[in-house]
Amino acid sequence: MKEKLSQIRAHAIAQIENSDALEKLNEVRVNILGKKGELTAVLKSMKDVAPEERPKVGQMVNETREEIERLLETAKKKMESAAREARMKAEVIDVTLPAKKNVIGHRHPNTIALEEVERIFVGMGYEVVEGPEVERDYYNFEALNIPADHPAKDEQDTFYIAGDILLRTQTSSIQIREMEKGRMPIRMLAPGRVFRADEVDATHSPSFHQVEGLVIDKNITFADLKGTLAEFAKELFGEETKVKFRPHHFPFTEPSAEMDVTCFKCGGKGCRFCKGSGWIEILGCGMVHPHVLEMCNINPEEYTGFAFGVGLERIALLKYEIDDMRLLYENDIRFLKQF
């Protein structure tokens, strides 16, 4: 019996080794382990074995069966893995063929610049608000300390509509509307379209965008203005950016300043981009003029504040190195796609 079993085992191993396909392995299984298989036959012949021998023989049969099954399984796995390898070999693709891309549209560079500015100031607790583009003289000029005969009115060539209605020349008008609401403190950021009667050329447009910032609270200082805008410049143009404040004049702020940042092309060494100075003018700012506060019924003895105005196109042109402002309003897809 023992001999018979080892014969079956040897036979099975030989057959398994000779199998070169899954079907053949299956045949081996049927031939040996199947209902009519050799090993099954041995089991069937157990009745001829002496009763005291049966447990021992049964164990031997089982061991042989398990071994053959194990061998079959191993051979099967090996065969399957070989087949998979072969299939994958045939499935090689050219990974350098072009990508299949979803066509995604592009934001206008002005908007990208605006969202950057918004992100920075919203993070500092500013609320983004808007105001009308067609505005009254009072909000655009008078309440900003630019009375009827003020020469500054000529400096900003205004488009007039009728009576005291005009196209706003600055987003500063939104400061007034916000202050009039009388809710303190104020930290607002007001982006928007503004209009000035400039002929279209590479650096001028009769319609462009500004972002106005305003902070009103107790104990706001010029130092706070400097600190806030220095943070802004670093966020927008990079950690190494330095700022310089130069005295300037705006009717609605006092003291007033213009802020320059170190040229982000040369880092301040001086290049063609910054005309050799190492600095680039970015924005105008100042402490809100007490008369402006008074006109909005805010007591300048109690509250102070600062305001600033940034030209969005200026930021976009500088940041993205766009050399002609007209490109921003042509909407040529080859231009827009670059942002």
Burial classification of residue 285, based on how many CB atoms lie within 10 Å of its CB (0-12 exposed, 13-18 middle, 19 or more buried) = buried
Smallest CA-to-CA distance from 259 within 228, 293, 215 is with 228
CB of 23 to another protein, least distance (A): 39
Burial of 151 from C-beta contacts in 10 A (0-12 / 13-18 / 19+): exposed
- Cis omega (within 30 of 0) for bond into 290: no
Of residues 33 and 230, the one with the C-beta less far from another protein: 230
Q: What is the per-residue DSSP string for 265-325? A: TTTTS--TTTTTSSEEEEEEEEEEPHHHHHHTT--TTT-EEEEEEEEHHHHHHHHTT---T
CB of 259 to another protein, least distance (A): 10
Report, in Å, the least distance between residue 205 CB and another protein.
8
* Residue among 155, 133, 215, 207 at smallest CA distance from 179: 215
**Dihedral sign for Cα atoms in the order 319, 324, 329, 335:** negative
Other Cβ atoms less than 10 A from the Cβ of 64: the count is: 20
Return the number of the residue (58 or 227) whose C-beta is nearest another protein: 227
Is the Cβ of residue 175 or residue 256 nearer to another protein in the bound state?
256
Residue 32 CB, nearest distance to another protein (Å)?
46
* Residue number with CB closer to another protein (69 or 118): 118
Min dist. Cβ of residue 316 to another protein (A): 11
Q: Can you read off the two tokens belonging to residue 203? A: 């650096």
Residue (41 or 165) nearer to another protein, CB: 165
Asked whether 194 and 212 are in contact (CB, 8 A), the reply is: no
Nearer to another protein, 27 or 235 (CB): 235
Rounded to a whole number of angstroms, the minimum distance from the CB of residue 142 to another protein is: 15
